[in-house]
Amino acid sequence: MYAVQIAVDAISLGSLYALVALGIGLIFGIMRLINFAHGDFIALGAYALIVPSASATTTLFVGSWPWPLMVATVILFVMLVALVTERAAFRPMRHARPATLLIGSFAVSFFLQHVVLSVYSSRPKALSIAPGLSEPLIVGGIRILKLDLVVIAVTISLLIVLAVFLKRTSYGIWMRAAAEDFRMARVLGVRANTVIAIAFAISGLLAAIVSIFVVIKGGLLSYRMGVPLVLMGFVATVIGGMGSLVGAVIGGYTVGMVSVALQAVLPTGLRDGRDAFVFIAVILILLWRPGGIVQVAALKERV
Amino acid sequence: MTIRRYLDVSAPAAMPALLIVGIALAAHLFGSNLLQHSVIEMLIMVVLVVGTYVFVGNSGILSFGHVSFMAIGAYATAWLTLPLFLKKLNMPGLPTFLHEWSIPVTPAAFLSGLLAALVGLVVGIPILRLSGIGASIATLSLLVIVTVGYSNWDSVTLGTSSIVGLPPYTDLWVALIWAVSGIVAAHAYQISRHGLLLRASRDDEVAAQAIGVDVFRERLIAWTVSAFIVAIAGVLYAHFLGTISIDAFYLNLTFISLAMLVVGGVSSLTGAVLGVVIISLLIEVLRELERGIDVGGLNIALPPGSQEIAIAVTMLLILIMRPDGLTRNREARWPFWETGAPDSRDFKGQGRET
């Protein structure tokens, strides 16, 4: 019984990490940018749910709308933020080295965090949307949160839609071509700006979905709420295999499962230090497969 | 190496050292206490960034883990120098000899540096087997492991609460001496055989291996040296504030130190120091503006949070306009003195495109 609950927990957390890792992996594949600001896309999506103010009480804004409208608004908003950051910050430094790009994304992240801080103050804000989803569902003695089931179902459908998009539509094929060899794709007529903009838009969509789930799950907003998520997503992308989207998903589920498993296995005294063990596991996985679980030929240096 | 020959190649150490000596002197002669305080902070950052540069600049691998060596140094010096009664009261987990002895800060600094170097050596053996982005992630893991470890190791680190009562040590001159020594040490490493071998592997890993460079070994040497220097920054920081807590050594400091390095130019020692000076200056100006300036009896101040926003925007502008850093990854040269010293720009464009 207990094992089933843990498995559901692990898959649900893994789904969240997989969505974050996909958002990071999509952009990395095409422009070799590790986007640290992805976590702040998630935070901005969450903050869009409430009325902008620095006061202690939280007033729902988009969060009080009927749910289809709410979800659509948050998605549109985060997509817009992602596209604006791409246009304003990442496009001008597109040809810089990966290290410069990474620091650039740090700077964007720092910028977004402090914009949130100056509008909403640094005080954490509590809110509750869709309280119905936080209720447990009891089936044959097993307690499962409805939310976990929703997270898993939504993630799987998103993965299927994304896979179809990448395999069947011409934009998807452009994107895969660009991820394989950006220069060659451009020579063959793939438009760089369009492909990168689509990648950022999808990345924003994924971030928006994550932010809604995180708010329902945690019920607390803080201006740095995206940081732990982006760290895990970043790690998931790397152990999955940088540049591979399937790898990002596998990496996300791996990190989620390792976290939940450690939570269950570690003695109480060590549980607070769980993340340290998760990251030790990360180093071990990397030593086992330095190129990640799914290795990408395009990233291997040719001599 | 003859003195004449050393003078030829010493410009990348001498010019930045002269720059910070000049700033320290100016702060001593004309600056308020507040300004001197900021200059000391800047000098500590010089030690941190130059230490990080020894590994990142010469190996070409971005490290997110160096700030954890700073934490190791800061906590080690606390264990070595705190008054005995404080240690007995707060840190029951320390080994007995530390309950019976406390030592002056200067030897404690060396011991703390050695501890960090030792930890660096041990963790470097697995981490540096990886390369590229995998190695960077492993260093990020190190940062998380050290932070989480220290915040839960209550019996010697007081967990997430602050350790107070560290003896004061870091004044302007002490910080300056360490910062200059750091620059000289980094330069000495960089022009040594090991530094050159590592730089060769940075520019073309495969070619370096082909001529017999043991890349893993060279990286490990740089990593250990840089752990030592960065730990010294931790010691200086601890004895500057008199109090430490583990939160200070996490992502924010990692971000700002890497930003300084990249803004200056990742693979140039001159750039490392210049980056620190420029970003520190920027932070100082913005702090001043946030405090408010009087214009005709009217106090105009920037709203809170705008300091960070302005720093982020300025950094983005620098990164967009100078993606290779303000120095374009070149080293300083002696003014008015043509030397035979080789310059990295002479070799530009010959490495493999990455």
Q: Where are the domains of chain B?
A: 3-250
Pairing of strands A142-145, B298-300: unpaired
The model's confidence at residue B345, banded by pLDDT at 50, 70 and 90, is very low
Task: Tell me how far apart the terminal alpha carbons of chain B are, to the nearest angstrom.
Answer: 34
Burial of B261 (0-12, 13-18, 19+ CB in 10 A): buried
B259 contact A CB<8A: yes
Q: Do B324 and A102 touch (CB under 8 A)?
A: no
Across chain A, what does the average pLDDT equal? 89
Residue B42 CA to residue B48 CA, distance in Å, equals 10
Residue B340 CA to residue B8 CA, distance in Å, equals 7
- What is the pLDDT, as a whole number, of residue B350? 42
- Nearest CA to CA, how far is A290 from chain B (Å)? 6
Chain B residue closest to A272 (CA)? B152
**What are the φ/ψ torsions at residue A50 (nearest 5 degrees)?**
-120, 165
Q: Do A235 and B62 touch (CB under 8 A)?
A: no
Across chain B, what does the average pLDDT equal? 89
**DSSP string over chain A:** -HHHHHHHHHHHHHHHHHHHHHHHHHHHHHH----TTHHHHHHHHHHTTB----SSS--BSGGGS-HHHHHHHHHHHHHHHHHHHIIIIITTTTTS-HHHHHHHHHHHHHHHHHHHHHHH-SS-EE--S-GGGGSEEEETTEEEEHHHHHHHHHHHHHHHHHHHHHHHSHHHHHHHHHHH-HHHHHHTT--HHHHHHHHHHHHHHHHHHHHHHHHHHH-EE-TTTHHHHHHHHHHHHHHH-TT-HHHHHHHHHHHHHHHHHHHHHS-HHHHTTHHHHHHHHHHHHHHH-TT-SS--GGGSPP-
pLDDT in tens, A272-293: 888 889 899 889 988 888 888 8
The model's pTM is: 0.90
- What is the pLDDT, as a whole number, of residue A299? 61
B313 contact A CB<8A: yes
Chain B residue closest to A108 (CA)? B312
**What are the φ/ψ torsions at residue A55 (nearest 5 degrees)?**
-75, 165
pLDDT in tens, A175-207: 999 988 888 999 999 999 999 999 999 999 999
Chain B residue closest to A238 (CA)? B134
Residue A67 CA to residue A129 CA, distance in Å, equals 9
Q: Do A108 and B312 touch (CB under 8 A)?
A: yes
Considering only CB atoms, which chain B residues are within 8 Å of A32?
none
Amino acid making up residue B334 = W
Q: Specify the long-range contacts of residues B179-182, CB closer than 8 Å, at least 24 apart.
A: B179/B20, B179/B43, B179/B44, B179/B46, B179/B47, B179/B50, B180/B17, B180/B20, B180/B21, B182/B46, B182/B47, B182/B50, B182/B51, B182/B229, B182/B232
Please check the confidence at residue A147 and state whether its pLDDT lies above 60.
yes
Residues 9-48 of A with CB under 8 A from B: 34
A162 vs A243: which has the higher pLDDT: A162
The model's confidence at residue B347, banded by pLDDT at 50, 70 and 90, is very low
Only one residue has tokens 């971005």, namely B62
Residues 94-123 of A with CB under 8 A from B: 95-100, 102-104, 106-108, 110-111, 113-115, 117-118
Q: Do B259 and A286 touch (CB under 8 A)?
A: no
The minimal CB distance from B144 to the residues A276, A286, A290 is found for A276
Please check the confidence at residue B316 and state whether its pLDDT lies above 80.
yes
Considering only CB atoms, which chain A residues are within 8 Å of B352?
301
- What is the pLDDT, as a whole number, of residue B297? 67
ipTM score above 0.90: no
Residues 41-70 of B with CB under 8 A from A: 62
The percentage of chain A sitting over the pLDDT mark of 70, rounded to a whole number, equals: 97
* CB contact at 8 A, B271 and B327: yes
Alpha helices, H only, chain B:
3-9, 11-30, 33-59, 66-81, 84-90, 96-100, 105-127, 132-152, 154-157, 172-190, 193-203, 205-210, 215-241, 251-264, 269-291, 306-321
Residue B207 CA to residue B216 CA, distance in Å, equals 14
Residue B348 CA to residue B328 CA, distance in Å, equals 11
* CB contact at 8 A, A292 and A25: no
B315 contact A CB<8A: yes
Average pLDDT of the residues in A119-142: 82
Please check the confidence at residue B351 and state whether its pLDDT lies above 60.
no
* CB contact at 8 A, A249 and A159: yes
- Nearest CA to CA, how far is B312 from chain A (Å)? 5
B311 contact A CB<8A: yes
Q: Specify the long-range contacts of residues A5-8, CB closer than 8 Å, at least 24 apart.
A: A5/A142, A5/A143, A5/A144, A6/A260, A6/A261, A6/A264, A8/A144, A8/A145, A8/A148, A8/A149, A8/A152
- From residue B262, alpha-carbon distances to B27, B48, B51, B276, B351 in Å are 26, 14, 14, 10, 20
Extract the tokens encoding B242: 């008199």
Burial of A77 (0-12, 13-18, 19+ CB in 10 A): buried
In chain A, where the domains are located: 2-227
- Nearest CA to CA, how far is B263 from chain A (Å)? 9
Only one residue has tokens 């209550």, namely B154
Considering only CB atoms, which chain B residues are within 8 Å of A276?
144-145, 148-149, 152
Considering only CB atoms, which chain B residues are within 8 Å of A25?
none
Average pLDDT of the residues in B143-172: 93
Q: Do B354 and A301 touch (CB under 8 A)?
A: yes
B193 contact A CB<8A: no
Residues 174-213 of A with CB under 8 A from B: none
